[in-house]
Amino acid sequence: MEDIILLSHGSGGEQTRKLIEEEILKYLGNEILEELLDSGIFNIEGRLAFTTDSFVISPIFFNGGDIGKLSIYGTINDLSVMGARPLYLSVGFIIEEGLTLNEFRRILQSMSFASRECGVKVITGDTKVVERGKGDKIFVNTSGIGVIERDLDWRGRKIEEGDLIIINGGIGEHGLSLMLQRLGVKVGEEVKSDLAPLNSLTLPLLSLCHGIKFMRDPTRGGVAGVLNEIARKYNVEIEIEEEKIPIKDWVKYASEVLGIDPLYSANEGKVVIIVERGEADKVMEFLSKHELGKEGRIIGEVKGKGNRVYLKTRIGTKRILDPLKKDLLPRIC
């Protein structure tokens, strides 16, 4: 019989100890975590960035990644777009009993790979097991701390008319590939999430271009969501052009079939950048040489005062790009 995770794995007794020492430490261990104290203790100097995110995703293994990688990269990306170099993470697991030990190992392995790749350490954690039916296989929470080197902090720079809006590649891939997978559609290899850690892109870019005024990863709510947040927070009107937005063919096709606009669909390896016009070429030049930026494009600009986002359609008409705060569901028609 296949080994599965049981309620007793979360009860704090012998089985919990085994799970932590023989599984979790094996994959995520480092000198701080291995002390197994109630807190991870460390020194950092400088201005810190601190963030947290919870990951609930179905299926937990998907084309282009899994919940393990997602939970590491997601937090790395939240730090990286703020100009912070990610250093330490905490990880909390809420496991629904019945998850197989092999599935859990695959997740740990993938977290181990992801954290090594990004040069971060998991220094504290927690594991709880809930009854069958009270969770969805596994939920993961990660928090992360990073340090911001002084001139990478873009927060004080003012967004103004004429600034340009850039995205580092095709939009909507994470959301739409997951939806196709949930639908059980047989898809080709190219159909996968864009999940990727952005630290190797955003940090060098921010030190290269001090004209970058804003960065955010457009996850839930998509590019349209992020642009609307910017418009409202900074009181600017934004206009983007449909024809300039990079979209892979399969995304275009899937979005037509499902009736879901890729502008609202989630991304996990993309960043929306606002840069002053004079430095846009420098950004584009950098992106063109970076693995995660090759398909980058300038998609629009800041138009002046306001609080709305407009889209110029490919047939030349112009309309509002609404922030649409509701779940995306495939159409029934």
Residues lying near another protein in the complex (CB under 8 A) are found at 179, 182-184, 256, 259, 261, 313-320, 322, 324-326, 329-333
- The Cβ of residue 207 has, within 10 Å, a number of other Cβ atoms equal to 13
Least separation, in Å, of the C-beta of 331 and another protein? 6
Concatenate the DSSP letters of all residues of 91-118 into one string: EEEEEETT-BHHHHHHHHHHHHHHHHHH
Q: Which residue lies nearer to another protein by CB, 259 or 278?
A: 259
| Cis amide prior to 59 (ω within 30 degrees) | yes
Q: Which residue lies nearer to another protein by CB, 128 or 252?
A: 252
Q: Which residue lies nearer to another protein by CB, 156 or 184?
A: 184
Q: Which residue lies nearer to another protein by CB, 208 or 324?
A: 324
Instruction: Please give the Cα distance from 177 to 190 (Å, whole number).
Output: 10
Instruction: Please give the Cα distance from 36 to 30 (Å, whole number).
Output: 10
Q: Which residues contact 120 (CB under 8 A, 6 or more apart)?
A: 72, 76, 86, 87, 88, 89, 144
Q: Which residue lies nearer to another protein by CB, 67 or 180?
A: 180
Q: Which amino acid is at 246?
A: P
Least separation, in Å, of the C-beta of 9 and another protein? 23
Least separation, in Å, of the C-beta of 245 and another protein? 14
Q: Which residue lies nearer to another protein by CB, 7 or 324?
A: 324
Least separation, in Å, of the C-beta of 10 and another protein? 24
Residue 163 CA: distances (Å) to CA of 81, 155, 203, 228 = 18, 15, 20, 16
Q: Which residue lies nearer to another protein by CB, 37 or 183?
A: 183
Q: What are phi and psi of 122, to 5 degrees?
A: -85, 115
Least separation, in Å, of the C-beta of 74 and another protein? 24
Least separation, in Å, of the C-beta of 126 and another protein? 27
Q: Which residue lies nearer to another protein by CB, 182 or 294?
A: 182
Least separation, in Å, of the C-beta of 61 and another protein? 17
DSSP strand pairing (272-275 vs 212-216) = antiparallel
E strands, the chain, where? 47-55, 61-62, 65-66, 84-96, 121-130, 138-148, 164-167, 212-216, 236-241, 272-275, 297-305, 309-312, 318-320
E strands, 177-317, where? 212-216, 236-241, 272-275, 297-305, 309-312
Residues in a beta bridge with 56 = none
Least separation, in Å, of the C-beta of 45 and another protein? 44
Q: What are phi and psi of 222, to 5 degrees?
A: 65, -170
